[in-house]
Chains A and B, each alone.
Chain A
């Protein structure tokens, strides 16, 4: 569908430049701004009344799973004393792109649209914030956007994403034509397609390719937004040493004393182009004192959310029950086994076959001498990207906006399929099919009634 600039839609975007800075700001503008803030922000002062233009301290928390995403400062500014003259919320987060991105995605899940380039400024202008000279500047931005949009469209014409989405769109146009021909030409001597056929096509030619595209979106996201890798293991197996080695700096305090790391430590490293959020955790042991116990609890929380667990053992120790217990706790996650202290081991070390028998890769390293670190990086890369799997298709990895459209298209296609299965009447079915088309149109351009009619007249001999 057409974007509706005059709509009272609420929009959001990351307003600070890309790349890591000290802080990053997400801006939300529109009538739902405050409601969104109240939904995802947990102020430390629970009696907080969101007075306009006051900064509040608190945390961003996913209202669904209560997962805490960042500590932030948030401000609500009531219209009209704001940049856009609408209600505006700004969330000042830690300046990490991954954090910003995931908070933005959380916001976009709640009936908020991603702002287009220059849209805050455009709204500011339309709402009477700026004078005429500034208006010219806005027009320049918009006109430039048209030109850039054209370039992009041309690039995408050759691109795999356009082709794939367009293929799905064409199938939907055909399905709609089948539904419409039965509606608009009831007295014709034509074979009316049965619902079983429609269901098959929806499943195999719409939903399945949408799923593949969404999977690519997730894979593309690994490169754009990174993955979370958590180092876990018993105390003193060398987790912090590994963190330091991968970071190539002394970030975590390393001692011979088990349980030195009391809390989780997070840092970002680039592994072969993939931004990795590396989390060092407190060693897991029973009978730890209270502070350490809290660290252990947080280690488990981190593990639950990790894309990959590096499970570390010490080659100089036999496997203990504690190792096995901890391994059992992480074994449902993707795991790379890391056997540390290879430089000082006598012989082959303990038998690790009980951990590797499930086909998991094992890398022997020495965090101290950097032996095996390249192999480990390769193992991490392979584990998070699925190895060779289709990275040449990076060109068709959809961006956030595309992904949103695909998710909505998928939901509409599901509704249509439900409608088919309960024998919903064709006029109602057409509403869901059209909604699905509208979402794909967000990516590949507008489908008109003529497109549907063209298919009808090509395929059917009609007219009395």
Chain B
């Protein structure tokens, strides 16, 4: 057999899901092929040139902790770093970065090219080959067959992609790229439940035609908050500001004047759009009382004048796009380089998936990214990573890796998709996570790096670095819990200068740190006033170490963290009671028809997952327990 046409894993698509999938499979030691319609678009950012944000920043950190690439790629190519929500509490602080769009994809392509075990091929896959019910290969548009043991499909918006600008529309996977129509047809013929979604993007405008003089600038944070746990130090690239401007009454008039030529409002678009990412025409029509909408002018890179006016996704006719843009302050003379557009595409109902992202219908076939009805680069990348890990495990005959809702945002994302399905493009929010206080950006490595290393994805070097950081954190907490101070005039005078109440009885430094107004820096000052030299040095070192935030959080929010840990313990009991795949729900007495239908369709893997399916009652769960017991004859109690 021709070895060039024989792989362990084939990944179709090289967007954010496809890149993580291909790299993970290859790094775990599988012979991997990634196919892409146009090799120049590997790692392309089709929409806004930014990575991170609320819940998305969390995902990038988790991907990094497991050994993925996205964090490193954005750290190396970012032209602006910002920390969000720094005043809103430890669980919801998040990182966001503007990327140099070109450098981002070039670096990703270079990493892929340099990756051992990974072949890249500019190929259009038309269909998947199935023998005896399972995946055995892919067939290309040149009628070639490539044999493989597992396939990860990460085709994004390319399945039957259709671009709309005004009342004009044409097939495309992204502006300038051909869509995947044959493969879409294959999914339909094979019987997959599919739907149609839409998303939109903004016109790209020329910086040289923008008057920035009156606009508010938003600069990079100093020092930068890196995404990757292995990044450190200062910026790699020169930093660029974003600018903020607003739409106004004239803008809204221009939009209303062109609304009859909007493909959305004239009913041409049938796909469902996301409520959190509405087009500007949608915002104006739905919230007529709002007299302005915010627009962020984001630079697309260092060597381009293209600017991304974030906040203005639109599919209005080009003339209307120009009229509305030119009514905005700073954009009076603006020139459009690329028009904004809406794109409709097919997605596959994620209820077709197991929590491993393998389809229930076709063993060996995994789906990742926008094809599953999600939106966002980070959501896509996370799925790509998990799909590849589980494809490797399948090929090797190992158990799938399923992260649960208490372990990672990745777990929340996938559990939501495969348990609830989605009707609109799914985006992660921190509010979707029940155990938000435990799923922080700062502790993504504590949660996941051991797993990443164990499955052979996170390198030894990175794992050793993680271990030493983790040890420092744990020792830091022990240190503060073991040092006691007694009330004294010096100490209380010191506390007074920090606007903190005097100490009444002996307590540990950890107890003092729990006072909301105090930080580790204050502790270092107090130590200098009252404690011996050796202790002073230890506390001062801790206050400037890289584990300082982790230590501080763990101590300050101990009470809340304990409460959440108790909730997790209760949650996990139900998660650990497995439901067999071959359970015949229709044969179980006592369950309603609706419950039987839902359970048969979704095939939850645990009692916990079953309990989250909408319409499954507590009594139905009790009945399942009794039947499980009957079936196994053993005890069901964990």
Contact = CB atoms under 8 A, between A and B. Distances in A.
Interface of A: 2-7, 122, 125-128, 132, 135-136, 138-140, 142-143, 145-146, 149, 176, 180, 182-189, 422, 425-428, 430-431, 434, 448-449, 452-453, 457, 461-464
Given A122-B626, A135-B629, A431-B437, A186 B84 contact: yes
A6 B625 contact: yes
Interface string B432-465: 1010110000000000000000000000000000
B88 A186 contact: yes
B578 interface: no
Contacts of A457: 275-276
Contacts of A425: 87-90
Interface in B136-162: none
B630 interface: yes
Contacts of B630: 132, 135
B605 interface: no
A185 to B, nearest CB: 7
Interface stretch (B62-70, B111-119, B288-296, B477-485): B288-296
Contacts of A428: 89, 91, 437, 557, 560
A4 B574 contact: yes
Nearest to B635: A128
B interface bracket (residues with beta carbon within 8 Å of A) = 35 or more
Contacts of A3: 618
B396 interface: no
Contacts of A431: 437, 560, 563-564
Interface of B: 48, 54-55, 84-85, 87-92, 246, 274-278, 283, 286-287, 290, 292-294, 296, 310-311, 429-432, 434, 436-437, 516, 557, 560, 563-564, 570, 573-574, 577, 589-592, 607, 611, 614, 617-623, 625-627, 629-630, 635-638
Nearest to B94: A186
Residue among A3, A122, A428, A463 with the most chain B CB within 10 A?
A463
A106 B254 CA distance: 69
B564 A6 contact: no
B184 to A, nearest CB: 27
Ranked 8 nearest A-B pairs via Cβ: A425-B89, A143-B590, A427-B89, A189-B294, A427-B91, A146-B619, A457-B275, A461-B287
Contacts of B570: 4, 7
B516 A463 contact: no
A176 B637 CA distance: 35
A183 B607 CA distance: 31
Contact of B626 (A135, A186, A452): A135
B629 A125 contact: yes
A186 B292 contact: no
Contacts of A434: 434
10 contacts: A132-B630, A136-B589, A139-B590, A143-B591, A143-B619, A183-B89, A184-B92, A186-B88, A189-B246, A425-B87
Q: Is the interface of A mostly helix, strand, loop or mixed?
A: helix
Q: Which interface residue of A7, A122, A176, A186 has the most chain B CB atoms within 10 A?
A: A186
Nearest to B588: A139
A146 B624 CA distance: 13
B637 A183 contact: no
B91 A126 contact: no
Nearest to B563: A431
A430 B436 contact: yes
Nearest to B614: A448
Contacts of B274: 463
A3 B614 CA distance: 15
A427 B617 contact: no
Contacts of B277: 463-464
A142 B622 CA distance: 7
A449 B416 CA distance: 10
Contacts of B88: 182-183, 186, 425-427
Contacts of A135: 626, 629-630
A130 to B, nearest CB: 10
B626 A126 contact: yes
A182 B431 CA distance: 11
A138 B627 CA distance: 10
Nearest to A149: B619
A135 B88 CA distance: 52
Contact of B621 (A5, A136, A462): A5
B618 A427 contact: no
Contacts of B617: 146, 149
Nearest to B287: A461
A176 B434 CA distance: 13
Contacts of B437: 427-428, 431
Contacts of A4: 570, 573-574
B626 A146 contact: no
A226 B575 CA distance: 44
A150 B462 CA distance: 55
A25 to B, nearest CB: 24
A422 B516 contact: yes
Contacts of A453: 275, 429, 431
Given A4-B574, A146-B617, 12 more contacts: A5-B621, A135-B630, A142-B622, A146-B590, A176-B431, A183-B431, A189-B246, A427-B91, A461-B287, A462-B276, A463-B275, A464-B311
B261 to A, nearest CB: 22
